[in-house]
Structures are given as C-alpha cells and as structure tokens.
Chains A and B, each alone.
Chain A
Amino acid sequence: MSLTVALDHRFPGFTLEVNFTAPPGLTALFGKSGSGKTSVINAVAGILRPDQGRITSGEITLLDTAHAINLPPHRRRLGYVFQDARLFPHLTVRQNLNYGRWFSPKTKGPNFDDIVVLLGLNALLARRPQALSGGEKSRVAIGRALLSNPALLLMDEPFAALDEARKAELLPYIEALRDHTQIPILYVSHALAEVARLATTLVVLDQGRILRAGSAADLLSDPDLAPALGLRDAGATLTGTLIAQDADGLSQLQSAGGPIWLPTIAANLGTTLRIRIAAQDVILSRTRPEGLSALNILQATISEIRLSDDGALIQLAVGSEHMLARITARSAKALSLSPGQPIFAIVKSVAVAQTDVGTR
C-alpha cells in the first residue's frame, strides 16, 4: 500500500507545490526549516487544507479538491506522532495508549501487549504524562499512534526534543516499525544522519518544492545533490552482513567492497546492517595503502566526479552500491582521478558512530 501526494497551496509569501509517492517503508521528507515539510504532513493529516490537491492512501482518497473530497482527520485512519508528544494530561499512560483504539475500526489492530513490549512501556502504564521523561513521552506517543491501527503513520521530527543518547535508544523502534509493518511511514526530518539511517525513500524539499525524490540510497550517494543536503553531513550508506564479533571489541561485517570492522555492534551474526559513512571521513588512495592505522580499506571504482568551489565530491561504486567521498580539488587533481578508475576507499572504524549503524 502506498501514499500519493499532490499539493498546491499558497501561503502569504510562500508557495507549496509538491507531488510524490511514498511506497511502503519509510519515506523521509527532508529539508531546512521553512521548506514546507510540516505543511505537507499536515495536509496529509487533514489539518491543513491545500488550495488544490489530491492525496490517496492505498485505495482511499483522503483529499481531492477537484471532486470536493476532503476527509476530516478523524476519518483518515492515520497515526500522527508530533514533535512535542502531545499526550493527554488528564489520562494515564495506559489510557493514552488506548485512546485511539476506542475509535479505530474493529478489524484486528496491533496487540496492546506487543506494542507495550516493543516500546518498553510496561513500567510506565500507571503513570501520568507529567511524570515521564522526554524519551518516555515520545515512546508513548508512538505507541498511541500505532495502537489506533493506522493505515498510514506520520512522524514530524519525533525526536527533535531529545538528546543523542535518547535518540539512539529510539531509532531501533522506528526501524522495527519500518521493517515489520506494511504501513507506509512519512517521516519529517532535518537531520541527515537520521534520514540516512531510517529512510527507504527520500523526498528533498526546498522552498516549498521538491528538489529530488527517489530511493534514499541513490539520492544520498548523488554528488550533485550533496551540496543541497549539506556538505558536512553528506554521506552514503553501504550494507554489510555481520559475520564476526572479535575479542578486541570490534565487529566484522562483510560488504561488497571487502571486510569492514566497526566498534562492537549489538546484533546477531548474519544480520544485514546499513552503515552510513560520511563523505568527509573517506580517504582515497590509488594503491592499496600499507602501514596504516585505518582498518577499513574498501575496493571501489570511481563512478562520478563533481568539482566545485567547495572541493571535489567523488562517487564510488562498491559492488552494486555507492558511497561518497569528499576531498579537496587539489587532491583530486594530484591523484588525477577519473571515472572508471579503480580506487581504494579508507574509512577509520571509529569514524562510524553507533547511531550511523542501523538495520537494513
């Protein structure tokens, strides 16, 4: 089941004009603040009524201005996780979680106990929202949205108010939702690392328009798009299979470019993982380097070079995947890089943060 969105809306001094499809999986709406991300998600929720537009969720038409169809929010069967958790202060956690279930269709929805276990809410059920930490509130808000048995999940920077440690704790829950439910997830974010970890589809918004939309892996490794995503944050994702936990605190993964060692990853052997490698953490070498402290030396082929005033962005083909390297124009020239050349990409194990490794 997928979501299609076509919108046209004029705000004072700002026009929103977008058209995209969100297939099952997680579609990230990425852009700077003011790019229109939240307006898009609000239009899907029925909170914002666009001047013109058509939105369908699977078989159901949520909005069609041409045919005067505009379902009110409560009939759109969606779960909306807001930036501020917005728990009901007069209800306990259990009552908050159950709120949407009173109104959801009687078809079999997610099991209460399963969600409580998935989100680790057991100890919180009798409490009031006031007595919860920020991370706990977010988890309850996610659980409440899921238990309303939605056909579509909307998340507007659900972790914006949380510190890195809390965020790292919650990201696996989102991955689990993405991988184990068939519900399309529309996820608003302005944090590229979060997007790289979670998104299967990426929609990049800029000033109310779509800059690019497509597979997250493709867009993140596109050197032409990297400046718009933010050069310092730019970086592509590789997949690897966890094959060994070494005694000296490293985990070994098998990737298309060769073995990758990373600081211990808590996952079962055989798990396929997605690793985000920031473009600026990649060193390129024409020959296989020796006597080097960096552990990860991946075999790749240069597939694209983009030169600009900000330096060079090199896209590397690693098997069927791509990664991105950001180097200076001088280095690019000194190495006389050109497309088709074989090259070694060097990545320090410790350059990959714990939050940069997620499930596929």
Chain B
Amino acid sequence: MPNWFTLADWFTADEWRAVALSLRVSLWATVLSLPLGTYVAHVLARREFWGKQLLNGLVHLPLILPPVVTGYLLLLAFGRKGFIGQYLDQWFGLVLAFKWSGAVLAAAVMAFPLMVRAIRQAFEAVDPKLEQTAGTLGASPLWVFVTVTLPLILPGIIAGAVLCFAKAMGEFGATITFVSNIPGQTQTLPSAIYTFLQVPGGDPQAFRLVLVSIAVAMFALILSELLSRAVARRIAGR
C-alpha cells in the first residue's frame, strides 16, 4: 500500500525535479510580472494615447505568435550576445539564456497577455465616476487608486495572477527555444513530458506529469472564474 504523503511514491526524482522547477519558475514569473501587468492593464483600460493599439498588439503578440518565434526573439534579445543580454551580462553579470531565470522570463512573456486581459477587465468594470468622486473628496490620484480602485479590482488582479501562474506552468515552446531542456536546470514540466515521450517506455512517466498539468490548469481556470465573479460582486456591493 503506497504512503499517500510521500512524494517519492508519486514521482521519480527526475519527475519531481521538473515539477518543482516549474512551480518555482511560474511563481517568479507571476510575482515579477504582476506590477507591470497591473500598470499596463490600467493604461489600456483607462488612458487614451497615441500608439495605444500598438501597445495592445505588442502585449498580445505572444498569444498569437508561434511560441518558437517568441523564444527565438528572446534569444536574440536576451542571449549572451543579444542586444539586451550583452549589457545584462556586462553590467550585472546576469545571464538568462539556458538558465532557469531565462525560463522565468520566457514564461512571464508568454503569460503576460492572459494576466493583462484579466486585470484590464476588472479595471473596466469599475465606474470611473467612483474614482472621480473620490477625487472631489480630496484623494489624490494615487490615493484614489489605493483606496477605491485597488480594493474593487483585487479579486481581478488575483485572477490575473492565477491565470499567469497556470500558463507559466504549461509554457513549452518559447522556453525550450530560449533556455533549452537541461534536466535540473531548465527542464520544466512540459519539457520533461516531451523528453519522456521521446524515450521508449517513457509513457507512464509522461502520463503522471500530464495529470499534474491538467490538474493545475483546471484549478487555475475555476479559481480565476470565481475571482472574476467576486469582482462583479464587489463592484455591485453585494
């Protein structure tokens, strides 16, 4: 009879390394892109400016482009000789390509559109008149954001974060292109599945990871849906 509480009964060391790496990559990708994602969502929801459509397109590009293209572009930009990567290396000693930190970047870029979309919808559901009213009561724009907008959209921000996390867990194409598939370093959960499927007899191992993927994705979708409804409820004041 298996001991249900020991991971070793569920996963082999290789499998667990992949799952743990994916969890770490996804967490960092989510945490790091949340401030920028919130800001971009706010800008897209509330401001009118020249080039808004361009920004909107840029944000959504990773959703449409073949992931391998996104990964290749990341390699061009952030590779050790890339036009950004060379300065990161020179000034900060930071190398992203073929490192787990690169996987964070790839996951963040790929998940960014989903996060922005969810948060943007939450912003759009808030009546600007409420924010205006807070202004007439003496609140500066920053305070309006902190005391009115943010509390109203908080569930939306969490929903965006959850979606981002789930998408990051599943990111494959851009990641494998940008940081390759090095066990223990850049072999994330989807990369591991891919690897197992290349090996004769690897199917059962792959299948356990497939189940993990499905569980994470399903949980995230349901949670983000519930949170989006919470935004609507909060705004209606129920």
Which residues between 32 and 78 of chain A lie within 8 Å of chain B, taking CB atoms? 45-47, 72-78
Contact, CB under 8 Å: B235 / A89:
yes
Q: Would you give the 0/1 interface string for B135-154, flagging 1 where the beta carbon is closer than 8 Å to chain A?
A: 11111110110011001100
- Given the known interface contacts A89-B234, A90-B237, A130-B236, the answer about A82 and B129 at a Cβ–Cβ threshold of 8 Å is yes
Residue of A47, A86, A90, A130 contacting most chain B CB atoms (<10 Å)? A90
Q: Would you give the 0/1 interface string for B221-238, flagging 1 where the beta carbon is closer than 8 Å to chain A?
A: 000000000000011111
Q: Would you give the 0/1 interface string for B95-128, flagging 1 where the beta carbon is closer than 8 Å to chain A?
A: 0000000000000000000000000000000000
Q: Closest CB of chain A to B187's CB: distance in Å?
A: 44
A79 sits at the interface (CB 8 A): yes
Q: Would you give the 0/1 interface string for A150-165, flagging 1 where the beta carbon is closer than 8 Å to chain B?
A: 0000100000000000
Give the residue name and chain of the A residue nearest to B237 (CB).
A89
Interface size class of A (residues with CB under 8 A): 20 to 34
A116 sits at the interface (CB 8 A): no
B134 sits at the interface (CB 8 A): yes
Of the residues A73, A84, A89, A90, contact of B136 by C-beta under 8 Å:
A73
List of B residues within 8 angstroms of A89 by Cβ: 130, 152, 234-237
Q: Give the complex CA separation of A178 and B137 in angstroms.
A: 20
List A residues at the B interface (Cβ < 8 Å): 45-47, 72-80, 82, 84, 86, 88-90, 99-100, 102-104, 128-130, 144-145, 148, 154
B53 sits at the interface (CB 8 A): no
Contact, CB under 8 Å: B236 / A82:
no
Which residues between 128 and 176 of chain B lie within 8 Å of chain A, taking CB atoms? 129-130, 132-141, 143-144, 147-148, 151-152
Contact, CB under 8 Å: A90 / B152:
yes
Q: Give the complex CA separation of A75 and B143 in angstroms.
A: 13
Of the residues B140, B234, B235, B237, contact of A74 by C-beta under 8 Å:
B140
Which applies to chain B's interface (DSSP): helix, strand, loop or mixed? Answer: helix
Q: Give the complex CA separation of A77 and B139 in angstroms.
A: 10
Q: Give the complex CA separation of A148 and B136 in angstroms.
A: 9
Q: Closest CB of chain A to B132's CB: distance in Å?
A: 6
Residue of A77, A78, A100, A145 contacting most chain B CB atoms (<10 Å)? A100
Q: Give the complex CA separation of A128 and B237 in angstroms.
A: 7
List of A residues within 8 angstroms of B129 by Cβ: 82, 84, 86
List of B residues within 8 angstroms of A77 by Cβ: 138
Residue of B135, B139, B152, B235 contacting most chain A CB atoms (<10 Å)? B135
- Given the known interface contacts A89-B235, A130-B237, the answer about A74 and B148 at a Cβ–Cβ threshold of 8 Å is no
Q: Give the complex CA separation of A84 and B129 in angstroms.
A: 10
Q: Closest CB of chain A to B126's CB: distance in Å?
A: 10
Of the residues A78, A79, A103, contact of B139 by C-beta under 8 Å:
A103
Give the residue name and chain of the B residue nearest to A100 (CB).
B137
Contact, CB under 8 Å: B137 / A145:
yes
Contact, CB under 8 Å: B134 / A88:
yes
Contact, CB under 8 Å: B135 / A73:
yes
Q: Closest CB of chain A to B31's CB: distance in Å?
A: 25
